[in-house]
Amino acid sequence: MKGYRTSIVKSVQFNTAPILVTGFHGYGAVGYLATRYIVSKLNMELIGFIEAPLVVDFTSIEDYGLSKPHEIFIKQLNDVEIVALLNRINPDRKFMASYIKAFIDMVRLFNVKEIFLIGGLDVRFREDKEEFRWLKTKSSKRSLDAPYFMKGAYIVGPLASMLLALEEHGVSATAIFPYTEPESIDHRAAASAIKVLSSILGIDIDVSELVNYAEKIEEMEKLIQSMQLQQSVERKESMMHT
């Protein structure tokens, strides 16, 4: 196989045009964490994949069997039908054009009416106390009660490629960017993104597990910092008495 391609292994009949949610391993891994959590909490059903062009060297055991890098899930609720693309790894940059084509093929196949992309935004760009910023493609009529993405700041990686493609193809899309520490794995930012999405879609997704996990990590980091500080003080005292 010379590139990515969409592979649907279970047929599905949507009652209405669905929305689609996805994200990547960008700043804070927010897009990946949020998508994975949504898939888990909504007990979404695996129906297919975006197949990778190269043999991958990792997998995990899930309820449905062995995982693949780019999995397609669905959930049909009373008021909204959701497709989620879970990117366990980022697409290979050498094949990004074919990944985007496979994604657009899936959007057309399912007649997706709106796409929500989740990413992370470097906390150093925060100007006030807002939790997130957002942006949309020209085809979207969406409006959120939060500051719009700032001019001049670059969006990079597969999310940027996807935004450009959706703009070009006239697809309605909204990107949500909670603030995050770029080098961290930020469960709290993922929870923030899910709360925004839940409010938009009018569904309830409990984010307490993500918040609790974030608090445990923060407590552990504080403990490690305290231990490092104590060790530094002890070394200085030892040097003073030699």
**Contact (CB, 8 A) for 41 and 206:** yes
Same domain? For 169 and 57 the reply is yes
Same domain? For 92 and 40 the reply is yes
Same domain? For 225 and 141 the reply is no
CATH number at residue 153: 3.40.50.10900
Same domain? For 109 and 196 the reply is yes
Same domain? For 220 and 200 the reply is no
Residue 42 sits at the vertex; the CA angle it makes with 40 and 48, to the nearest 5 degrees, is 70
User: Long-range contact list for 213-222, CB < 8 A, 24+ apart?
Assistant: 213/187, 214/186, 214/187, 214/188, 217/185, 217/187
pLDDT tens figures, 210-240 = 888 666 666 655 555 555 555 555 555 555 5
**Contact (CB, 8 A) for 28 and 180:** yes
pLDDT tens figures, 165-181 = 999 999 999 999 999 98
Stated pTM of the model: 0.88
pLDDT tens figures, 89-146 = 999 999 999 999 999 999 999 999 999 999 999 998 898 889 999 999 999 999 999 9
Same domain? For 113 and 178 the reply is yes
Same domain? For 171 and 108 the reply is yes
**172 vs 12: CA distance, rounded Å:** 22
What pLDDT does 1 receive? Answer: 64
What pLDDT does 146 receive? Answer: 94
Same domain? For 106 and 190 the reply is yes
| Structural tokens at position 70 | 């780019």
**Number of domains into which the chain is organized:** 2
**Which domain does 130 fall in, by range?**
5-205
Same domain? For 150 and 50 the reply is yes
The helix (run of H) or strand (run of E) holding residue 191 is helix 187-201
Same domain? For 211 and 201 the reply is no
Same domain? For 165 and 231 the reply is no
Same domain? For 125 and 62 the reply is yes
